[in-house]
Amino acid sequence: MKSHFRAIGLGVIEVKNFKTFDSKAVMEFNPDVAVISLSFDRLAGVVFADKLRLLFPSIGLVFISDAPKVQMYGLVEKEMPFGSKVILKNSVTDIFILQDALHSSVDAVANREKLSWVQNQTSTDLQAWESEFDSLSAIQLETYRLLATGLSNAEIARVREVSEKSVEHIIGRIAVTMGIASSPKINQRVKLAREFFRVSGAPIN
């Protein structure tokens, strides 16, 4: 794949593991575009992208996402680097879609465009996300994400700087919205977490 992009005049680096990435090699390579996976470490990915932008102000950034919304990673689109392109992982197998994302990311930086998705609006994954998650508020969605990653109510309360009672109330509202009732035979938190990953497509960390 890398040889294909070199043939069309693009120098592309792919970043999956930020701990083992050779920054010296990046400087020598002088890339046009960086392809960054959000699956490995979502927050480190954005921080790394910001550092790349400092080194290479015109570098294009393409984020590969398992989920059809970056909110599923606890990220906010407007806080991500300008000109970024996000593409669903299941679209990467189409070389022409990925090629378009790489080229358009370079143009987007030059024009200082806001983050945008590549061929996302027609995705059946997005339709599923909207039908089941769209009725949740931003606070509920973030609380749901934290629950799905395995945090207790007390831990969620500390992260969100609210009371544990408030977290309990929010989770109760989430369960009602998602149609997951409390039952002695079913662990509601486990069921909620499974439903989160099923609908969102976000990887289980």
**Lookup: tokens for 199:** 């609908």
Domains identified in the chain and CATH numbers: 2-117 (3.40.50.2300), 135-200 (1.10.10.10)
Say whether pTM exceeds 0.75. no
Lowest mean pLDDT among 66-75, 83-92, 170-179, 182-191: 66-75
What is d(CA 38, CA 138) in angstroms, rounded to the nearest whole number?
20
Transcribe 32-61 into DSSP letters: SEEEEETTT-HHHHHHHHHHHHHH-TT-EE
How far are the Cα atoms of 56, 64, 105, 118 from residue 10, in angstroms, in the given order?
A: 15, 18, 12, 18
Tens of pLDDT along 2-12? Answer: 555 655 566 77
Tens of pLDDT along 81-100? Answer: 999 999 888 777 777 888 88
Tens of pLDDT along 60-71? Answer: 999 988 777 787
pLDDT at residue 2, rounded to an integer: 55
Give the mean pLDDT of 154-161: 94
For the chain, give the percent of residues with pLDDT over 90: 28
